[in-house]
A and B are shown apart, each in its own frame.
Chain A
Amino acid sequence: MVSMKKIQETMMTSIFNVFEKMFFVFLEPLDEDIQYDMVTSIKFTGVMKGEIKAYLSRGIVDIMAQNMLSIEPSEITDQTIEDCAKEAINMIAGSFLNKLEPSQVFDLSIPDFEKGTGQFVKDSEATLSLSFDSDEQFMGVTLNLEA
């Protein structure tokens, strides 16, 4: 049984790794609720089963898209936004599961994406709930593990 501490550390390492390596975005952990503009999610099955969701502000995804694709703000489209968000959750999930259980194989779903503004409540009932900021742009991540 993996401890909650290890799950949290592994998730944070995976998020930082993906954002710094692929999007050149440096995140700071945040201890408060945040506003989001879109949600992307991915399900996984294997020795553990569950779902990871990322709640993203439009501003942070704009920066991710600009940095990853070397494009100007005017070149960002809805499709680019969706692609970047889905790619981020895909990489976070893959990296997290691989670091947590290196000898195990997990099957990942195709990521889902939904636009919609809302309030990300950090102390939700999720197994793990984290929020981050980068130059006043925000992201929240939840992990839900099924028994």
Chain B
Amino acid sequence: MSFNVLIVDDSNSMRAVIKKIVTISGFKMDSCLEAGNGRQAMELLADNWVDVIISDINMPEVSGLELLDQLSKNETLKEIPVIMITTEGSEQRMQEAFARGAKGFIKKPFLPEEIKKVLYNVIGVGDDGQYEEDSRNDDDLDF
């Protein structure tokens, strides 16, 4: 199983770095969409399904926290797990992000392993990059 990822950050360079880290981590990525802020992200999500969103907080027009609010109001999109990746790393800010629907939180500056760990944990894949349901034995299925 491969996943569609949306990276939201106003820095082209940071989006490139995150994309590269996700790719080399072995994560099975089908497509990677990019948006420069929350507004662009919502526009992309109107026509594209993604399995996980990795978003900055501090962005022009629509911030990462505002993006969380918009996603939570949408019956379909609210199911998409969102990982915040940001310089604003206070405990209070982190709790605020989780309260608004974030499923993971990474502080910048980060090590590549931190992105991999949080991403794999949030989406539910093992260290080998395999989706846990893919590697489950048929005998485990309960009909």
Task: Give me the interface of A with B, judged by CB distance under 8 Å.
Answer: 17-18, 21-22, 65, 68-70, 79-80, 83-84, 86-87, 90-91, 93-95, 97-98, 101-106, 108, 110
A68 to B18, CA, bound (A): 10
Taking A22-B108, A87-B13, A110-B10 as contacts, is the C-beta distance between A94 and B89 under 8 angstroms? yes
Q: Are A95 and B92 touching (Cβ within 8 A)?
A: no
Q: Which residues on the B side are within 8 Å of A104 (C-beta)? A: 90, 92
Across chains A and B, which 8 residue pairs bring their CB atoms closest together, nearest first? A94-B87, A83-B13, A21-B109, A22-B109, A83-B11, A98-B89, A105-B92, A91-B108
Q: Which residues on the A side are within 8 Å of B86 (C-beta)? A: 94
Taking A90-B58, A93-B87, A106-B88 as contacts, is the C-beta distance between A83 and B110 under 8 angstroms? no
Q: Are B87 and A108 touching (Cβ within 8 A)?
A: yes
Q: Which residues on the B side are within 8 Å of A108 (C-beta)? A: 58, 87-88
Chief secondary structure at chain A's binding surface:
helix
Q: Are A105 and B93 touching (Cβ within 8 A)?
A: yes
Q: Is B60 an interface residue (CB 8 A)?
A: yes
Q: Are A83 and B90 touching (Cβ within 8 A)?
A: no
A101 to B88, CA, bound (A): 12
**Which range holds the interface residue count of chain B?**
20 to 34
- CB-CB nearest in chain A for B15: A83
Task: Give me the interface of B with A, judged by CB distance under 8 Å.
Answer: 10-14, 16-17, 20, 58-60, 86-93, 96, 107-111
Q: Which residues on the B side are within 8 Å of A98 (C-beta)? A: 87-90, 107
- CB-CB nearest in chain B for A20: B109
Q: Which residues on the A side are within 8 Å of B58 (C-beta)? A: 90, 108, 110
A83 to B92, CA, bound (A): 27
Q: Are A83 and B14 touching (Cβ within 8 A)?
A: yes
- For this complex, 23 residue pairs linking A to B, each with C-beta atoms less than 8 Å apart, are A18-B109, A21-B110, A21-B111, A22-B109, A22-B110, A65-B13, A69-B16, A69-B17, A90-B108, A93-B87, A94-B86, A97-B90, A98-B87, A98-B107, A101-B90, A103-B90, A103-B91, A105-B88, A105-B93, A105-B96, A108-B58, A110-B58, A110-B59
Q: Which residues on the B side are within 8 Å of A18 (C-beta)? A: 109
A106 to B86, CA, bound (A): 13
Q: Are B87 and A91 touching (Cβ within 8 A)?
A: yes
- CB-CB nearest in chain B for A86: B11
A89 to B17, CA, bound (A): 17
A34 to B113, CA, bound (A): 36
Q: A83-B11, A103-B90 are in contact. List 9 more A-B contacts (CB 8 A).
A: A18-B109, A68-B13, A68-B17, A86-B11, A87-B14, A94-B107, A98-B90, A98-B107, A103-B91
